[in-house]
Chain A
Amino acid sequence: MQQLAGSRFGRYLNPLFVLGVYLFLYLPIVVLVVFSFNDGDFAGGWKGFSLRWYYEMADSHEILGALKASLIVASSATILSLVCGTCAVIATKWLRLGRWLNIFYANVLVPDIVLGIGLLCVFSVMGFPLGYKSLIIGHTVVGLGFVIPIVGARFHQIDPILTEASLDLGATQWQTMRRVVLPLLMPGLMASGLLVFTLSLDDFVISFFCSGTHIETLSVYVFNQVKNMIDPRINALSTCMLLISSACVMCLAYLNVLDQVVHSE
């Protein structure tokens, strides 16, 4: 270690390289955000600070519609996958069939494009109309792949002594679940909820295949809009989405679960 730190590579080159990579990661984003406050379109260069594009964004029915669709889908998928996932975790552990939960790892492993195409085919064969319902189902299935492993791991950590004590002291099973197990699961629920919400809000591939012709989520709207074209309203919108996802990541970091997610890979 001494020698590693002592070599020229170790002392200067490696940190400089890392600095360069972080610049590479953040330069485009910073430029995007800065130009969302530009008073004028891109061709004219910097014209001074203004919130003009934010007002225009708020006036656009298309953008508001896409925002509404994304929020509806993301929140429904989050709630559905949390409820179904938690119930499944509690029930299977109760029945001592916990290993069946392993099949939910498949949801994360299957590439989005395969799942998106598969869902599209099955929906068409079943005669299921594409729209909100199909989008919510697709996102919920992906969400289960995150909720169940995270909540399951959390459930595994619960000390059985606590639940036994609760049962001994006369609580019914239902009361034990509600008053002891659920509060202990809370960090896992929060973390996986945030995770599913952000992933669903940002998802492109599954939304692209499952949204049909009537509904556009934000990512699909941006994709259709920006083919080689710059629209400062999109910058304003992107800045808002960046803020939302950064807030979620900060919450996750605060809840200290990023480490768990990283290590579970």
Chain B
Amino acid sequence: MRVVTTLQKIASQQLPFLLSLPAFLLQGYFLLIPLAFIVVISVTSDALGGQWLFTLSQYRDLCSSMHMKVIFNSAVLSCIAGGLSLLIGYPVAYYLAMRAGRMKHALLVFLILPSWTSFIIQVYSWFYLLQKHGLFSSFFYSIGLTSEPLSLLNNYGATVLGMVYCYLPFMVLPLYTVLEKMDKRLLEASADLGANAWQTFTHIVLPLSHSGIRVGLALVMVPAFGEFAIPDLMGGVKDLYVGHMIMEKFLVFRDWHSGAAVVMLSFMIPIVCVGLWYLMSKSVRYVQGEE
């Protein structure tokens, strides 16, 4: 009898620990170990039969002109996608947060609705419009803009279009969050003090939404840097991107060590950029505060 109660006591004491175990085990085995593994194999080579030796040669190889070109392509695409979605997303977030009134929630739901289906399907839906004999090219042909129906797919513009289409909601959401929380009395105060709409925007709204812009750019540019499905489907195979390079190294060449270096790079470059920007904006504010 005493044994049973002791057992029960132990069980009830250990129960919370046991309950939390599955989630933490999953986290450890299938998130932390994979991440650590990528870091480790990116700085080792297995040249000597099974023994892994520390080396930075994979990173050195990344500096070759071929790799640099791919990295440059991805960086440019990621910047264009980030910049365009900011330009398009800001007015939308502004309208939703400041002027939509009761329609706000409905509009927000309809904004994110498309991004809740697989982005493969979102990209596929553009095929109907852009393809040869698709709606757009037929339209351009019928109004005489082009002499024959052209395919509007497989070019850089199509890639950019696909990226902006898929990533736009990720830009609008953080901007909306910041703009919605903003104290609207500041705008009235600014107007009362004689600022015009543009001055209010550049001096009040824009500086106060800085954190939203930063989060939005990070949410768009980090995944855009490693993206491979959208350029693959919309842009044809003319330009190679970091995402392609990762996929090829792992699935085709089975060269894990240099693949892992590319993965690290695709992860670190955007994070370092965001971090630098954060530090810079902080120091700018510090200097301004000093004045």
A contact residues vs B (CB 8 Å cutoff): 1-7, 9-10, 14-15, 17-18, 21-22, 24-29, 31-32, 35, 42-43, 83-85, 87-88, 90-92, 94-95, 100, 103-104, 106-107, 110-115, 117-122, 125, 137-138, 140-141, 144, 148, 173, 198, 201-205, 209, 218-219, 222-223, 226-228, 230, 234, 238, 241-242, 245-246, 248-250, 253, 258-259, 262-263, 265
| Given A2-B188, A262-B176: A222 in contact with B121 (beta carbons within 8 A) | yes
B47 contacts the other chain (CB 8 A): no
The 4 closest A-B pairs by CB, nearest first: A118-B34, A88-B23, A91-B20, A28-B125
Would you mind naming 29 contact pairs between A and B with Cβ atoms under 8 Å apart?
A2-B188, A2-B191, A4-B187, A4-B197, A10-B197, A21-B88, A24-B165, A32-B128, A42-B128, A88-B22, A107-B31, A111-B266, A115-B35, A117-B263, A118-B38, A121-B37, A122-B34, A140-B26, A144-B26, A198-B116, A204-B119, A219-B118, A222-B120, A222-B121, A234-B124, A241-B118, A249-B113, A262-B108, A263-B177
| Given A18-B92, A28-B126, A84-B22: A121 in contact with B38 (beta carbons within 8 A) | yes
Task: Tell me what chain B mostly uses at the interface: helix, strand, loop, or mixed.
Answer: helix
A contact residues around B191 at 8 Å (CB) = 1-4
Query: CB distance B128 to A28 under 8 Å?
Result: yes
| Given A137-B26, A263-B177: A249 in contact with B112 (beta carbons within 8 A) | yes
B contact residues around A29 at 8 Å (CB) = 114, 122, 125
A contact residues around B22 at 8 Å (CB) = 83-84, 87-88
Q: Would you give the shortest CB distance from B253 to chain A, in whole angstroms?
A: 14
Q: How far is the CA of A203 from the CA of B236 in the complex (A)?
A: 22
A contact residues around B37 at 8 Å (CB) = 118, 121-122, 125
Query: CB distance B168 to A25 under 8 Å?
Result: yes
Query: CB distance B129 to A27 under 8 Å?
Result: yes
Q: How far is the CA of A18 from the CA of B108 in the complex (A)?
A: 12
A contact residues around B127 at 8 Å (CB) = 226, 228, 230
Q: How far is the CA of A262 from the CA of B173 in the complex (A)?
A: 7
A contact residues around B108 at 8 Å (CB) = 258, 262
| Given A3-B191, A31-B125, A88-B22: A137 in contact with B30 (beta carbons within 8 A) | yes
Q: How far is the CA of A262 from the CA of B266 in the complex (A)?
A: 26
From B16, B223, B236, contact of A94 by CB (8 A): B16
Shortest Cβ distance from B31 into A: residue: A141
B contact residues around A120 at 8 Å (CB) = 250
Q: How far is the CA of A191 from the CA of B30 in the complex (A)?
A: 24
A contact residues around B88 at 8 Å (CB) = 21
Give the bracket for the number of chain B residues in contact with chain A: 35 or more
Shortest Cβ distance from A147 into B: residue: B23
Shortest Cβ distance from B189 into A: residue: A1
B95 contacts the other chain (CB 8 A): yes
From A18, A84, A111, A241, contact of B95 by CB (8 A): A18
Q: How far is the CA of A193 from the CA of B121 in the complex (A)?
A: 22
| Given A7-B197, A115-B31, A248-B116: A148 in contact with B23 (beta carbons within 8 A) | yes
Shortest Cβ distance from A3 into B: residue: B191
Q: How far is the CA of A84 from the CA of B153 in the complex (A)?
A: 44
| Given A18-B92, A137-B30, A227-B233: A245 in contact with B174 (beta carbons within 8 A) | no
